[in-house]
Amino acid sequence: MNKLMAEKPITHHPAIVRPAQKQDGAALHDLIAACPPLDLNSRYAYLLLCHHHAQTSVVAKLDGVLVGAVTAYIPPTQPDTLFIWQVAVASASRGQRLGKRMLDYLFQEMCIPHQLRWIETTISPDNAASHKLFTSFASQHDAGCSITTLFTAENFGESGHEEERLYKIGPLDQRD
Closest separation between CB of residue 102 and ligand COA, Å? 8
Closest separation between CB of residue 19 and ligand COA, Å? 18
> Which residues are within 8 A (CB) of 49 and not within 5 positions of it... i.e. 6 or more apart?
20, 25, 28, 57, 71, 73, 85
Q: How far apart are CA 101 and CA 155, in angstroms?
A: 32
Are 56 and 73 in contact by the 8 Å Cβ rule? The answer is yes
Neighbours of 139 (CB within 10 A): 11
CB of 98 or CB of 172, closer to ligand COA: 98
Residue among 94, 114, 117, 161 that touches ligand COA (CB under 6 A): 94
Q: Which residue is nearest to ligand COA (CB)?
A: 99
Based on the shown chain and the rule CB under 6 A, indicate whether residue 98 belongs to the binding site for ligand COA.
yes
| φ and ψ of 171, to 5 deg | -70, 145
- Residue 11, burial from CB neighbour count under 10 angstroms (0-12, 13-18, 19+): exposed
Closest separation between CB of residue 93 and ligand COA, Å? 7
Based on the shown chain and the rule CB under 6 A, indicate whether residue 100 belongs to the binding site for ligand COA.
yes
Q: Which stretch binds ligand COA (CB under 6 A): 22-30, 45-53, 57-65, 124-132?
A: 124-132
Are 130 and 84 in contact by the 8 Å Cβ rule? The answer is no
Based on the shown chain and the rule CB under 6 A, indicate whether residue 97 belongs to the binding site for ligand COA.
yes
Residue among 10, 16, 26, 38 that touches ligand COA (CB under 6 A): 38
Are 24 and 50 in contact by the 8 Å Cβ rule? The answer is yes
Residue among 132, 146, 152, 171 that touches ligand COA (CB under 6 A): 132
| φ and ψ of 105, to 5 deg | -60, -45
Q: Which stretch binds ligand COA (CB under 6 A): 13-21, 55-63, 95-103, 110-118?
A: 95-103
Interface residues toward ligand COA, by CB under 6 A:
35, 37-38, 86-89, 94-100, 127-130, 132-133, 136
